Amino acid sequence: MSQIAQDTQIDVSELFQKLKKSQSKYKRTTIEERINTLRKLQMAIVSHKDEVLDALFADFGKPHYESLTSEILSPLNEIEDACKNLSEWAKSTEVSPQVFKDAKTEIIYEPKGTVLIIGPWNFPFYLSISPLIPAIAAGNNVVLKPSEITPHVSAVIKKIIEATFEDDYVTVVEGSVSITTELLKLAFDHIFFTGSPKVGKIVMEAAAKNLTSVTLELGGKSPTIVDETADLDKAVVRIIRGKAINAGQICLAPDYLLIPKELQDAFIEKTESFMKEWFFKDGKWDYTDLSQIVNEANFHRLKGLFDDAVAKGATVAYGGIFNETLRKIHPTILTNVPLDAKIMQEEIFGPLLPVFNYENLEDVIAFVNQFDKPLAYYVFSQNQENIDFLIKNSTSGGVTTNDIMLHCAEISLPFGGVNTSGIGKYHGVFGFLELSNARGILYQPFESEALVLDPPPYTGKVEAVTKAFFSQPE
């Protein structure tokens, strides 16, 4: 049985009041002070690196290489970017007035206030720290609630945060859904949630009671399309990697594949040969370099999706090995999957890949657009016209062509979903803006009169306004 993080024994309402009270102190921090704090966080991550790697391994057998690249390097890059660019991002922007020509107009960026960050378990370190970076950059103070499903990581996060921040600046609250439910009742100034669309709705409903703004980083069924011009070897490696890294427990994993029928057999054969290279040692399968499914509930959920698809007529074209003792699932390809199978009704979030065929790109568009708006969209093609057509006639939070997930790691791009896959964007400057209130300021000189605000009596003023604003250009 996997453990869950124990509930922090504190009164969350008292804790919240404490943070609210000290928010003005952090709002006043200079850019230099915020950069120093981020540097301190960067050093704390580096000095606790090995503990983070061990915790990820303890929680779901995540190989150190994957943890280093996907959980530690990314937040370090994001901190570096924020430290380099924060002075620029945070600068007030003077704009030229379009209506009140005598005024001076500018936009200043102030913190949202006291922010609640709720993290998921699938990248439990990265996705707790990553939203914290723009939150600090923008001058907020934060209650951070990591996922209870990965308790070792949650404990290291707490240690790193306590080593870096005053307890009224950033506080970690550990624990179960019941403590998150208590936190969600409080009138935070912003909630940054990463998790499933199902819990995203609970968060948004709770936030609505206080009119708290939200960023929701959710998931969905991200389509992956291979056309006849694709470099198939590279496409197979990259797509199957998306089902093997983190054992496919990635919000951005390719969820299902669309490929012309004549390429399908080659795709499956190549998968088989790459799987042998990756996971076959000394004459037997060796899953050391494959993460575990995070817990029994998720293992059984995935087994259930597989069994249901097979019972409804799907073919196991490759894989289909489930090791319950190790909680490992061999990357698996299913063909002939009927659309009413449960695997096509929800985000898979594991190493199972349903494959469908298409005849032309219109088929692809119709197929993809029958589902909710996805988080990511992948096109493997060397034909720019095909790429443009497929992007233009669909929607998603982001797109990578000829690879997977790179648009998320490229911090110059906004990252997030659209509707069911998320609300709001972050990374780089987009994260700074998401966690800031862009406050528009108009400095009106006393000597100017704004005609539209003239007091009564209104005699003759309709004519004056009509002349000023409604007369036809000469």
- Are the CB atoms for 138 and 153 separated by under 8 Å? no
- Are the CB atoms for 51 and 156 separated by under 8 Å? yes
Binding residues (CB under 6 A) for ligand NAD: these are 118-123, 127, 145, 147-148, 177, 180-181, 194-196, 199, 202, 217-219, 251, 347, 349, 375, 417, 422
User: In terms of CB distance, is 113 or 219 closer to ligand NAD?
Assistant: 219
User: In terms of CB distance, is 63 or 195 closer to ligand NAD?
Assistant: 195
Q: Which residues are catalytic?
A: 217, 251
Residue type, 442: L
Least separation in angstroms between residue 4's CB and ligand NAD is: 9
CA 283 to chain centroid, in Å, comes to 39
User: In terms of CB distance, is 27 or 301 closer to ligand NAD?
Assistant: 301
Task: Name the residue number minimizing CB distance to ligand NAD.
Answer: 219
Helix (H) or strand (E) holding 171: strand 170-172
Least separation in angstroms between residue 431's CB and ligand NAD is: 12
Q: What are phi and psi of 74, to 5 degrees?
A: -60, -50
Which residues are CB-neighbours of 425 under 8 A, at least 6 positions away? 414, 415, 416, 431, 434
d(C-alpha 36, C-alpha 443), whole Å: 33
User: In terms of CB distance, is 82 or 127 closer to ligand NAD?
Assistant: 127
User: In terms of CB distance, is 139 or 350 closer to ligand NAD?
Assistant: 350
Least separation in angstroms between residue 213's CB and ligand NAD is: 17
Q: What are phi and psi of 13, to 5 degrees?
A: -70, -40
d(C-alpha 215, C-alpha 67), whole Å: 25
Least separation in angstroms between residue 196's CB and ligand NAD is: 3
Which residues are CB-neighbours of 213 under 8 A, at least 6 positions away? 112, 189, 190, 191, 207
Please choose, from the candidates 217, 223, 231, 232, the residue with its C-alpha nearest in 3D space to the C-alpha of residue 257.
Answer: 223
